[in-house]
Amino acid sequence: MKLSEVVEKLSLDVKTVDDGLQKEVTGVYVSDLLSDVMANAKDGNIWITLQTHMNIVAVAGLKNLAGIIIVNNRQPEKEINEKAESEKITIMTTSLPAFEVAGELYKMLT
């Protein structure tokens, strides 16, 4: 499934301007701990978290993730979105909590 389909089905708010929406999603990783994501997330995964600080962009880049969904209506600062764009990382937000986003994605992808 392409990231664009995920965005549409979950009505996600896309914060970055890039062509990352065409990326193919390989799976989903849910965690707020950077060490956990670094150890366990896979190439092409969508990362679900409520973290909004700059490190999330670096981690997503290193792990070549499809994108980051920030939950609970948390809003990343403009600098985060800009850095994400320059690293070609797609940032999306939702008002849903992590459990529900994970649940909806699980239903869609499994």
Interface residues toward other proteins, by CB under 8 A: 27-36, 40, 48, 50-53, 55, 72, 74-75, 95-100, 102-107, 110
Residue closer to other proteins (CB basis): 17 or 50: 50
- Least distance CB 110 / other proteins (angstroms): 7
Residue closer to other proteins (CB basis): 17 or 39: 39
Residue closer to other proteins (CB basis): 17 or 54: 54
- Least distance CB 46 / other proteins (angstroms): 9
- Least distance CB 71 / other proteins (angstroms): 8
**Cβ-based burial of 58 (10 A; exposed 0-12, middle 13-18, buried ≥19):** middle
